[in-house]
Structure 1
Amino acid sequence: MSYKDPSFQDRIGKAAEAKRKALDQLRAKPSIDPAELAERQARAAAREAAEAQKREARAAALEQSKAERASRQPSAEEPRAAAAPTEAERKAARDARYAARKQRK
């Protein structure tokens, strides 16, 4: 079988026939009942309202958590509870990390 067996015109004709058949099937499809359409629209509106309410609740919770976080952070005027580690403390911590790494090997 070669590319010439069904000629180009034959293939175009079959494609047009298939397209026409598909359009006929689409046209033969019954239209949607207005009551069913109204019910679908009402369900979609209810779903959208529920989603909007959920979004608002999520945004309110986010704002509340931001406010709580801001209130928990110390202000710049309050002194820090923990002082910065001294040079000797930092060196001891570093040496402990090195020793732990050496033992793992």
Structure 2
Amino acid sequence: MKNARNNDFSDRRTAAAEAKSALLNAYRAARAADEPARLARQAERASIAAAREERRLERERIKRDEAERRVAEADERKAAAEAAARAETEAREATERDRIARVLEDEAARKAERDRRYANRKARRA
């Protein structure tokens, strides 16, 4: 009786090994048959990845160009603001110089008038 059980176990074990071997052979055959399609899918994925990378690089280039443009515009605005401030300062200084010159001229004219009156007074007394 013990022998019969061992034979059944051996039979089952052999059958399982044969089934496993058959599945492995079927997998290998299917894989070999599917190889061209797999290579085609792999090539397609590679081309998609390359196109994606190219688009990413293009986006980065556009962002970099945009950032450079913004920096250039900011520099131009800063230069224009500095020029306007410089022009305003120069105009203010020129106005101040003109005002000082007029004050000095007025003082000189008043002094000359005072001196003339003084000289007339002296001339009348003499």
Range into which the TM-score falls when normalised by the shorter chain = 0.3 to 0.5
Higher helix proportion: 2
TM-score normalised by structure 1 residue count:
0.46
TM-score normalised by structure 2 residue count:
0.39
Structure number with greater Rg is 2
